[in-house]
Amino acid sequence: MDRFDAMRVFTRVVERRSFSRAAEDLGLPRSSVTEAVKGLEARLGVRLLQRTTRHVGPTLDGEAYYRRCLGLLADLEDAEGAFAGATPKGLLHVGVHGGMASRILVPHLPEFLAACPGIDLQLSESDRYVDLLQEGMDCVLRVGTLIDSDLVARRLTTLPEVTCASPAYLARHGVPHGPDALDGHCMVGFRSSATGAVLPLEFLVAGERREIRLPSVVTVNGAETYAAAGRAGLGLIQAPRYRLEADIRAGALVVVLADTPPTPTPVSVLYPRAKHLSPRLRAFIDWVAIRLRAAGEGGS
């Protein structure tokens, strides 16, 4: 294993906090990962990692070396990617909401992988906030308003949202004709994974954002369960239209209050500040931005 490969191994161990998980990510035997780190430590004459039975983390020297390695590996990737005919390559680990993955990204993945055949793409589905470095992710797609963090954030697009209810719910409660006509109605509560709070319904009224809280008979914290509760007639729901489009077309959900829709939902990509925007990550972000914009405009 040459010095640059050993650096790649070391940086992955630091990010994953585990020799075993790093070995799995890189497709290497654990023994090779261990020997690579030992070789670096012997060459440098310093201890790079603190190891216990439950935890692996960088020493002060290891943290400083890790950040130098990121810069050197980024420069190497840029140099290799600068030549004509070079294509992005390597493992790319992306965190994404499951509904976005299945409805927007996966149907078009063949075209992306055909354009970038050297990329080994790993998609991890999750509604929760994750530690990108701890979980070995290169980037994550976030829906909604971002909380403060030390991650680099780039907004990719905004997606239109709709208010919906099931036909059975509307038969019981009536079709509301405006935000001021919601007395007697209820909503499916959605608890934010970022704040833990139940989100209100929101409407754009004469260009102004207006929040309304209705009683909830059920509260959930997952997007698929939220849509299922809406289909079951448990209350009004609001979500990006792409997520509910199939139910709307099938008649399982009906769009209401279309003249005062919720504010569009921003979609952003986040990646660690210390993480160089590698050619493979840049290629993915450019592609996913196109796909998301198409979805927001009603395309497939």
How is the chain split into domains, by residue range?
A: 3-81, 89-159+266-295, 161-263
Structure tokens at 217: 């008979």
Read off the pLDDT of each residue in 117-129 and give the average, rounded to a whole number: 80
Out of 92-101, 108-117, 230-239, 275-284, least confident range: 275-284
Residues 6+ apart with CB under 8 A from 51: none
Residue 225, pLDDT above cutoff 80: yes
d(CA 297, CA 288): 14
More confident position, 283 or 300: 283
pLDDT band of residue 111 (cuts 50, 70, 90) is very high
Q: How confident is the model at residue 131 (pLDDT cuts 50, 70, 90)?
A: low
Q: How many residues does the chain have?
A: 300
pLDDT at site 88: 81
pLDDT of residue 78: 64
Report the pLDDT value the prediction gives residue 164, as an integer from 0 to 100: 98
Q: What tokens does 275 get?
A: 């993480």
Q: Does this chain's domain 89-159+266-295 share its CATH topology with 161-263?
A: yes
Fold of 89-159+266-295: D-Maltodextrin-Binding Protein; domain 2 (3.40.190)
- When mean pLDDT is compared across 23-32, 87-96, 215-224, 282-291, the lowest value belongs to 87-96
CATH 3.40.50.970 correct for 161-263:
no
Residue 261 clears pLDDT 60, i.e. is over it: yes
For the beta carbon of residue 289, count every other beta carbon within 10 angstroms. Answer: 16
What is the torsional sign of CA 110, 112, 113, 117?
positive
The amino acid at residue 46 is V
- For residues 116-141, give the mean pLDDT: 77
Q: Which residue is listed with tokens 């790079």? A: 48
The CATH architecture annotation of domain 3-81 reads Orthogonal Bundle (1.10)
Q: Which of 21-25, 86-90, 234-238, 279-283 has the lowest average pLDDT?
A: 86-90
pLDDT above 60 for 136: yes
Segment 1-18 shows an average pLDDT of 88
At residue 134, the pLDDT reads 61
Structure tokens at 71: 């810069």
pLDDT, mean of residues 259-268: 92
Tell me what pLDDT residue 145 has. Answer: 73
- Mean pLDDT of the residues in the chain: 87
Separation of alpha carbons 35 and 12, rounded Å: 14
- In this prediction, residue 274 carries a pLDDT of 58
- Class of residue 265 by CB neighbours under 10 A (exposed 0-12, middle 13-18, buried 19+): buried
What pLDDT, on a 0 to 100 scale, did the predictor assign at position 122? Answer: 87
pLDDT of res. 69: 87
The pLDDT assigned to 279 comes to: 81
